[in-house]
Amino acid sequence: MKRMTRHLSLWMLLATALLVWQTAVARDLPDFTELVDQAAPGVVNISTSRMVERTASPLHNFGDQEIPEILRRFFGDRFDDRVPMPPGGGPERREERQSLGSGFIIDEAGYIMTNAHVVEGADEILVRLNDRRELQAELVGADAKTDVALLKVDAEGLPTLTLGDSDDLRVGEWVAAIGSPFGFDHSVTAGIVSAIDRTLPRDAYVPFIQTDVAINPGNSGGPLFNLDGEVVGINSQIFTRSGGFMGLSFAIPINVALDVADQLRDGGRVNRGWLGVMIQPVSRDLAESFGMDNPEGALIADLDPEGPAARGGLQAGDVILEVNGEAVESASTLPRLIGRVSPGGEVALTLLRDGKRREETITVGDWPDSEVSAANGQGEEPASARLGIAVQPLEEAERRDLGIEGGARVREVDPRGAAAQAGIRAGDILVSIDQRVVEDPDQLAELVAELPDDRAIPVRLYRDGRSLFVALRLSHG
């Protein structure tokens, strides 16, 4: 009996200690209730509508009657195939509305910030507030390169959010998101800042905030808050292999977004600096060949002969190490540093040429309206921007030896890009993508631009003289 009593006392002591420990841990965790109470009214749900040609099912003779369920059971998805309306009726039009994302009100004049991809192609934008008001919104402007869009609604008594300073963010601090994942309005998720100043293969102009806050489709365009309830970012993308949250979320810093929004409000477009160079990463072997201690900077592979860099005396083979005293850690850093310089402004560049450092001052230009040619930009070919690769044409002899009519050779692979995740390596020759023949690098860029997100795409390639397929998956949150 005494032994049982001692055991009972020990268990009670352990339970008390556990309770005290849990209370202490809970006391150290942040409480988001006050933040949500204050901020939620300023977060909105955004849906869009667009006009499309009306189409009919192959069984259009049913007229306006509902297709019998027994036929649906037998024929299934074949009723989802669409054919043009029969002759004589003429194409009709119908309205199609789909809830796409989130946004937030930044001032009482009715300006709302969201992602550019949320409102892309919309004929009509509808904003639903926390108090259930629904307002028509006007698109003031959108910038695809930073994925920022500015909307405006005409209403009074709008709740606004307090904007913070994203430059003050530190890795490890708590943040929270409010948005409409999968259409569930005003859902709150929280986590920490996992990293700052992240550059993604497809978005060279944004130093992303990486978090482990749960973000899913529908959260796009919603605000990211610090513990003071200030907006420090716009939730924009997720990294996923499943289509859902996997612990990697990316937000546009609010300082970057505000600069874009101000330009959109003032002129309807964003002006950003342009050098007119094609760049590539500096590999370890290239660094050694240039006499560099470490692989860093951006290597100029080619120049637009009429661009600012060529006029300023830059040459192919130069490695840009610094911009206005700020280190160019990798090739992907350069577009962001140049892009935030106003056209007509001067930048001081530190270069490595022929093994020697030198200083050059360049007057940057304005980004051309035509952005088709990679030589007109700071980055690599359009295929690189989305896949995370740099490619080059094949020599006629190579195509003849392999028995192919086209193709593009992979020159560099970003280890963080979609191509690397699929197993594509430098030196591979891309032959087809999504069962369409790759003719050359320019045509490859067009194919890549049309690829869907979050679906496995077959890619056929040659490696070491052998043909093989890999599965490529592109993602955008």
Q: How many angstroms from the chain centroid is the CA of residue 35?
A: 27
- What sign does the CA torsion over 183, 174, 103, 209 have? negative
Q: Which residue(s) pair with 362 in the sheet?
A: 347
Binning pLDDT at 50, 70 and 90, where does residue 413 land? Answer: confident
Which of 47, 117, 194, 203 is labelled catalytic?
117
β-strands 429-433, 436-437 pairing: antiparallel
Which two tokens mark 144?
A: 């695809």
pLDDT for residue 307 is more than 50: yes
- Separation CA 121–CA 50 (nearest Å): 8
Q: What is the pLDDT, as a whole number, of residue 401? A: 78
**CATH class for the domain made up of 42-153:** mainly beta
Binning pLDDT at 50, 70 and 90, where does residue 86 land? Answer: very low
Asked whether the domain spanning 383-473 has the same topology as the one spanning 273-376, the reply is: yes
Binning pLDDT at 50, 70 and 90, where does residue 87 land? Answer: very low
Which two tokens mark 426?
A: 């430098």
- Cβ atoms of 165 and 255 within 8 Å: the answer is yes
- What sign does the CA torsion over 337, 343, 345, 346 have? positive
- Cβ atoms of 383 and 414 within 8 Å: the answer is no
**CATH class for the domain made up of 273-376:** mainly beta
> Of 397, 290, 213, whose CA–CA distance to 222 is shortest?
213
- Cβ atoms of 388 and 201 within 8 Å: the answer is yes
The per-residue b/e assignment along 338-363, b for 16 or more CB within 10 angstroms, e otherwise, is: bbebeeeeebebbbbeeeeeeebebe
117 compared with 224, residue with greater pLDDT:
224
Name the residue with tokens 């490859």: 444
pLDDT for residue 55 is more than 50: no
Binning pLDDT at 50, 70 and 90, where does residue 432 land? Answer: confident
pLDDT for residue 451 is more than 60: yes
Dihedral, CA of residue 434, residue 198, residue 254 and residue 371, to nearest 10 = -50
CATH superfamily of 383-473: PDZ domain (2.30.42.10)
- Taking every pair of C-alpha atoms in the chain, what is the biggest distance, in angstroms? 97
Among 152-156, 269-273, 470-474, name the most confident range.
152-156
Q: Is 64 a catalytic residue?
A: no
Show the DSSP H helices in 239-332 as ranges: 254-267, 284-289, 308-311
β-strands 223-225, 319-323 pairing: unpaired
Which of 166, 187, 194, 220 is labelled catalytic?
220
- Cβ atoms of 209 and 233 within 8 Å: the answer is yes
Strands (E), 239-370: 249-253, 273-274, 277-281, 298-303, 319-323, 326-327, 346-353, 356-363, 365-366
Show the DSSP H helices in 68-115 as ranges: 69-75
pLDDT, average across residues 417-428: 86
Sketch the domain layout of the chain as residue ranges: 42-153, 166-267, 273-376, 383-473
> What residue type is 180 in one-letter code?
S
Percentage of the chain surpassing pLDDT 70? 78
Q: Is 167 a catalytic residue?
A: no
Distance between the two ends of the chain, CA-based, in angstroms?
63
pLDDT for residue 66 is more than 80: no
Phi-psi region of 348 (alpha: psi -120 to 50; beta: other; left: phi over 0): beta
Residue 288: phi, psi to the nearest 5?
-65, -40
Q: What is the pLDDT, as a whole number, of residue 88? A: 47
- Separation CA 449–CA 430 (nearest Å): 16
pLDDT for residue 56 is more than 50: no
Record the pTM: 0.65
Which of 47, 102, 147, 476 is labelled catalytic?
147
Binning pLDDT at 50, 70 and 90, where does residue 99 land? Answer: low
- Separation CA 392–CA 403 (nearest Å): 18
Q: What is the pLDDT, as a whole number, of residue 385? A: 57
- Separation CA 209–CA 169 (nearest Å): 9
Which two tokens mark 397?
A: 């002899």
Q: What is the pLDDT, as a whole number, of residue 421? A: 84
Which two tokens mark 376?
A: 């007109």
Binning pLDDT at 50, 70 and 90, where does residue 11 land? Answer: low
56 compared with 304, residue with greater pLDDT:
304
The 3-state DSSP class for residue 298 equals strand
pLDDT, average across residues 386-414: 82
pLDDT for residue 75 is more than 50: no
Mean pLDDT of the chain: 81
Q: Is 147 a catalytic residue?
A: yes
The CATH number of the structural domain formed by 166-267 is 2.40.10.10
